[in-house]
Structure 1
């Protein structure tokens, strides 16, 4: 409308109150692709316990008698087993989500509040699961690698020679390397400096660096020690080479079969009821473990210096 010669228009602030707002679901910055849980082979358990029976190495009389004589005595023997095999009990990662019924009743359009809370909690559990696969005190891969499969970095920075040494340790059908993104970047710099840039390969629609045809899979669950400050230029981490697969006597993830309220492998969601204050409660549990079936299924490059680009430029 006009007041004299002055033109007055609807204010942007007033118009904003009538506008529809496009909203996102809550964005969770800490989520990762979790390639490790996708690439590992998984074995479902019925009782939550896995017993790893192994051959007793060293004195097994399996020598093959080679002779051209017709009348040769066949050697006698047997294959002995370890008498006290290790047992793995599934680890439980659990949390409880509480949602007030007033919140879910009144504010569930367009986002269903209960489902959104459960989605975010499940994502958190799965992130914790991947971390435990590496770092758990009992079954974590870093804590169960045989001493003979541990390699020290030659120069600190990860080099092609270092990764070749890992391949020499896991030479029976190696599946993939695992490394922190900063370690992968450091390896790429070393390769470029030597004039042997690593090739890329495609998995799950994504590109990965590789070495000798073996993909290098990034994960931030292989922690970098020392990078506590944002301006820190270096830190130490590990790089793993893994063979996975039950038939290949590799590294295998373990989970519980047929859980009540099962949502995915080893993960269940159960409704616990509504209390006197109108708060609904949900129990989320994820049961998992990991086992190295044969010691040569995994090797680790230790004390890897992730370095910094500027260190090479100086």
Structure 2
């Protein structure tokens, strides 16, 4: 029999930590890095069979689609004949996977689950970490992430650095067919609020999911800390969403074994000779942009501009 001291450290939560959770508090463990993840809530999600989602597009040239049409006011002219061709090699989106193995010692779950279910809390926090990683990938993934899915013609730069109402209006002009929401780092949203207030047009608010969001032209600005900040600048995205709107959609595979919610599963893998139980946590997901004009980006958004207000004295 092998020496238990050969077991690598930190394979499971420690007994002391579990005992403190069970006897010294009645609250579940708090994790400050958990965010609301509004992007996941606002994206329409499509169930993908076979793990592949194909986006079929119409073939077009730089002038767009040209169909020979005739407007007739009188007479019986010969009608034009035409057809619309399709791309022969449409893009396919394959579901990505986020996985980890959660390990818990059976002694911990047996002895210290009187007030709080130790396994349930371990699973909950692991799932939260998976969801945080998912939102990061939805924004930053090199293949399908939002930031890397914007075509050059849908990218604009700020006029002077700070995000102004004029800049967001330009962004709306690029995604004018049913824009759904802006997506921005919280610091970018506050920077826009400063610029709008400076110009005497403080943005109104709207309540979604029980929380207030500022808006511009009726479009909410949704915060996400997954948009990167580099050298004091970031980007603001504008999305159209939904399959019927030819917008951005989330992709997932529902109905997998051990599913606790669509596309997310927790499966028991067994208990080893050191009494450590393992659970496989898996999330299948991706993101697809159905129309090139469904996504636009305002780049070079400066976050450090502040204004001094001088008030007249009596």
Question: Structures share a fold, TM > 0.5?
Answer: yes
1-side partners of 2:113 and 2:43: how far apart? Answer: 37
Task: Give the alignment of 1:68-217 within 5 angstroms.
Answer: 68-217=73-222
1-side partners of 2:262 and 2:256: how far apart? Answer: 9
CA drift of 1:63 comes to: 3.0
2-side partners of 1:52 and 1:220: how far apart? Answer: 29
1-side partners of 2:264 and 2:25: how far apart? Answer: 32
CA drift of 1:74 comes to: 1.5
2-side partners of 1:156 and 1:60: how far apart? Answer: 36
- Aligned-residue Cα RMSD (Å) equals 1.5
Aligned length: 286
Q: Larger Rg: 1 or 2?
A: 1
Q: 1:60 to 1:91 in 2, by over 3 A?
A: same
1:170 and 1:296 in contact (8 A); partners too: yes
2:253 and 2:262 in contact (8 A); partners too: yes
1:306 aligns with 2:311: no
2-side partners of 1:63 and 1:190: how far apart? Answer: 47
CA drift of 1:258 comes to: 1.2
2-side partners of 1:68 and 1:192: how far apart? Answer: 54
1:292 aligns with 2:289: yes
Q: TM-score with structure 1 length normalisation?
A: 0.88
1:276 aligns with 2:270: no
2:55 and 2:91 in contact (8 A); partners too: yes
2:180 and 2:241 in contact (8 A); partners too: yes
Alignment match of 1:27 (pick from 30, 35, 40)? 30
CA drift of 1:109 comes to: 1.4
CA shift digits 1:158-211 (9 cap, x unpaired): 000000000000000100001111001110100111111001111111110000
Residue 259 of structure 1: aligned partner: 256
Residue 41 of structure 1: aligned partner: 44
Q: TM-score with structure 2 length normalisation?
A: 0.88
- Specify every segment of 5 or more residues in structure 1 that has no aligned partner in the other structure, as ranges: 1-19, 227-234
CA shift digits 1:80-101 (9 cap, x unpaired): 0001111110000001100000
CA drift of 1:245 comes to: 0.7
Tell me the SS of whatever aligns to 1:47. helix
Tell me the SS of whatever aligns to 2:50. coil
CA drift of 1:77 comes to: 1.3
CA drift of 1:265 comes to: 2.1
CA shift digits 1:56-83 (9 cap, x unpaired): 0137452320122332111111110001
1:45 and 1:254 in contact (8 A); partners too: yes
1-side partners of 2:271 and 2:154: how far apart? Answer: 52
2-side partners of 1:245 and 1:38: how far apart? Answer: 13
2-side partners of 1:63 and 1:120: how far apart? Answer: 59
